[in-house]
Amino acid sequence: MVLLAMGSAGPNALAGDAVDASSADAAPGNPRVWQAFPEAGFYPLYVADPLRSQSAVTVVAVPSSDIPDTGSARFGLRLGGQYPIVANHPPGKPDCGWQLDFEGGFSSHFDFGHSLDNIGWDGLFGLLLDYKPRPALAFRFGSLHDSAHVGDEYAERTGRQRVGYTRDEVVLGVSVRASQRWRYYFEAGFQYGTKEFQEPLRAQAGIEYQGERPWPGARGGWYAALDLRGYQENDWHPRATAQLGINVPTGRGQSRYRFALEGATGRSVLGEFFTATETYAGIGWYFDF
């Protein structure tokens, strides 16, 4: 992490010298502070969104699925996260300003009923510019990419070939922290370069609640979150994903572990099977960094 102050750094400062955060914020005449590779993102993560870049291990039961020849239990693996690149904030306000983020990840399902064959996986990445005018309000604008694939074993067993489902979107999102406990967010996506079986628009909304510590001396508190997504290509039928769990801070910046129950119904989270509807419920371990 490197901090650079733009403006007067004092009579003894050398040109190009890195400036300590406390002195940079306190020195008069410093209009902005640049920070390379900050520890935390300006735009809050969508906790219950199964298609954001994140790291998680889940075990789920699938009582209903339109994906042919799949079992009723799966192992889910998500790898990746959000990586802040550079931030620019006013003196004394390190949690407000502008920030550039990269996010990348991998999301997949493995079938317990067929020797843990990989059903499908999505490669996710994006480049996003965040703007946070005040601590309770944040915006993000940028590009997200989702490249979907059919698992090799599933394709060999069923003959299902890849249709080449890919989304390249321009996105605009807003996050509002209504109180210490409640947060809401809304996001719109527009895909450019659609294929003949795709439509360009996507909409997303969510609500999150951060509760009290579940017992005296606990490091974290319980939470509940709901994420809703709808796609024009699915006639706007919503996919709902909910989580109920416990946050456990790691002690390193704002990173945290989460242990949660997760349930979802609607369009499959596997992009290659975007026409399929599924319902699942399970338990998972999540890591936000």
Q: pLDDT of 54-64, one tens digit each?
A: 999 999 999 99
- Could you give the 3-state DSSP secondary structure of residue 272? helix
| Count of CA atoms in the C-beta half-sphere (13 A) of 88 | 9
Do 210 and 244 fall within a single domain? yes
Residue 189: burial class (beta carbons within 10 Å; 0-12, 13-18, 19+) = buried
Do 119 and 246 fall within a single domain? yes
Do 97 and 32 fall within a single domain? no
> Which domain covers residue 96, as residue numbers?
40-288
Do 77 and 12 fall within a single domain? no
**pLDDT tens sequence across 165-208:** 999 999 999 999 999 899 999 999 999 987 888 999 999 999 99
Do 198 and 266 fall within a single domain? yes
Do 98 and 149 fall within a single domain? yes
Instruction: Please tell me the pTM assigned to this model.
Output: 0.85
Q: What is the CATH number of the domain that holds 45?
A: 2.40.230.10
**pLDDT tens sequence across 124-171:** 999 999 999 999 999 999 999 999 999 999 999 999 999 999 999 999
Taken as a whole, the chain contains a residue count of 289
The tokens for 158 are 């069923």
Name beta bridge partners: 145. Answer: 125, 168
Do 99 and 209 fall within a single domain? yes
Do 80 and 24 fall within a single domain? no
Do 174 and 239 fall within a single domain? yes
The tokens for 46 are 């969508």
CA-CA distance, 238 to 132, in Å (whole number)? 29
Do 133 and 86 fall within a single domain? yes
CA-CA distance, 227 to 173, in Å (whole number)? 14
Least confident segment among 8-17, 47-56, 220-229? 8-17
Identify the pLDDT of residue 215. Answer: 66
**pLDDT tens sequence across 218-258:** 677 899 999 999 999 999 999 999 999 999 887 766 678 89
Per the structure, the count of domains in the chain is 2
